[in-house]
Chain A
Amino acid sequence: AQSVTQPDIHITVSEGASLELRCNYSYGATPYLFWYVQSPGQGLQLLLKYFSGDTLVQGIKGFEAEFKRSQSSFNLRKPSVHWSDAAEYFCAVGPITGNQFYFGTGTSLTVIP
């Protein structure tokens, strides 16, 4: 069955520190992978996506993610976190059939001064 797992429910980092959010997926074919961010009271915004080609993808707001097929992972990274990065982050895989996306349960990021 197709699924997305985000093992970390909540992460706290200091401002300026590096960040890595984990995402693992189970999928029967080449996945299309996405990271979304949800700021408090806001909808979801696409950070970056991977379809094919270079396995290291760059996104908005200084985020990047690396697709590792052997590990079925698509971890999100940022070298230096800003206080405004505090939000909920969702990893997603899709489409599988039609236009369905499957999301992880999210990782809540807290940034401390």
Chain B
Amino acid sequence: DAGVIQSPRHEVTEMGQEVTLRCKPISGHNSLFWYRQTMMRGLELLIYFNNNVPIDDSGMPEDRFSAKMPNASFSTLKIQPSEPRDSAVYFCASSVGQVPNEKLFFGSGTQLSVL
């Protein structure tokens, strides 16, 4: 299996621009997670989906952030408009099943720089 695939690996954009991060989970996994990693706050859960339905988006920082999962094999995290404080590494992860969830499979992350 190719694992969780994220694109792009690196994104550099200017403040105010729209940014779209993409994720392809492992085939057969029905839970998908978006995390953000910063030096100050460490790894934070932004949102997670189960069977393509958003279950908890309480970690989404503000309305500029939105996430979709139109089908079981694809998810996007969009920031519009982007701001310099959004600069971080964004991880996507997927897993099988519900509680207890013993293993998450992480993608390699997208390094976002907003200038």
- Name A's B-contacting residues (CB within 8 A): 32, 36, 41-46, 49, 51, 90, 92, 94-95, 97-106
Contacts and interface: CB of A to CB of B under 8 A. Distances in A.
A99 B4 contact: no
Given A43-B109, A44-B91, A100 B45 contact: yes
Interface in B101-115: 101-104, 106-109
Contact of B45 (A32, A43, A101): A101
B61 to A, nearest CB: 16
B58 to A, nearest CB: 9
A29 to B, nearest CB: 12
Contacts of A45: 106
16 contacts: A43-B4, A43-B108, A43-B109, A46-B104, A51-B102, A90-B43, A95-B101, A99-B31, A99-B95, A100-B48, A100-B56, A103-B42, A103-B43, A103-B44, A105-B41, A105-B43
**Binding site secondary structure of chain A:** loop
A99 B33 contact: yes
Given A44-B104, A90-B43, A95-B101, 8 more contacts: A44-B106, A46-B103, A95-B99, A99-B50, A99-B95, A101-B104, A102-B45, A104-B43
Contacts of B55: 98-99
Interface residues of B, number: 28
A59 B31 CA distance: 24
A49 B98 contact: no
Interface centre among A32, A90, A101 (most CB of B within 10 A): A101
